[in-house]
Amino acid sequence: MTYLLGSHHVTLSVGKAQEDVDFHTKVLGMRFIKKTVLYDGSIPIYHLYYSNAHGDPSAVVTTFPWAQQGRFGTRGTNQAREVMLAVPADSLDFWAKRLSSMQIDHQQSELFGERRLEFHHPCGLEYVLVGVHGDPRVGHPGHGVPPEHAVHGIYGMGIHVYDQDRMVDFAKDVFFFDGEISEAGDVARFKVGSDDYGNWVQLRGNRTDDQGTWRFAAGTYHHFAWNFDTLENQEASKFQIEGAGYTDISELKDRTYFKSHYVRTPGGALFELAVTHADGGWDCDESPEELGRKFMLPPQFEHEREHIMSQLEPLRVDD
Predicted confidence (pLDDT) at residue 1 exceeds the cutoff of 60: no
Number of domains in the chain: 1
pLDDT at residue 81, rounded to an integer: 97
Predicted confidence (pLDDT) at residue 155 exceeds the cutoff of 60: yes
Burial zone of 101 (CB within 10 Å; 0-12 exposed, 13-18 middle, 19+ buried): exposed
pLDDT band of residue 39 (cuts 50, 70, 90) is confident
- Between vectors from CA 11 to CA 14 and to CA 126, what angle results, nearest 5°? 55
The two beta strands, 270-276 and 258-264, are antiparallel
pLDDT band of residue 141 (cuts 50, 70, 90) is very high
Predicted confidence (pLDDT) at residue 165 exceeds the cutoff of 90: yes
- Does 28 fall in a domain? yes
- Between vectors from CA 33 to CA 30 and to CA 37, what angle results, nearest 5°? 120
Domain housing 288? 4-311
- Does 317 fall in a domain? no
In this structure, what CATH number is given to the domain that contains residue 207?
Answer: 3.10.180.10
- Does 71 fall in a domain? yes
Range in 143-152, 170-179, 268-277 the model is least confident about? 170-179
Average pLDDT over residues 240-267: 94
pLDDT in tens, 279-294: 768 888 888 888 999 9
- Does 316 fall in a domain? no
**pTM for this structure?**
0.96
pLDDT at residue 2, rounded to an integer: 61
Question: For the packed helices 164-174 and 231-243, what is the interaxial angle rounded to 10 degrees?
Answer: 130
Q: Could you tell me which of 262, 240, 239 has the C-alpha nearest to residue 249?
A: 262
Q: How far apart are CA 121 and CA 305, in angstroms?
A: 30
- Does 319 fall in a domain? no
pLDDT in tens, 110-126: 999 999 999 999 999 99
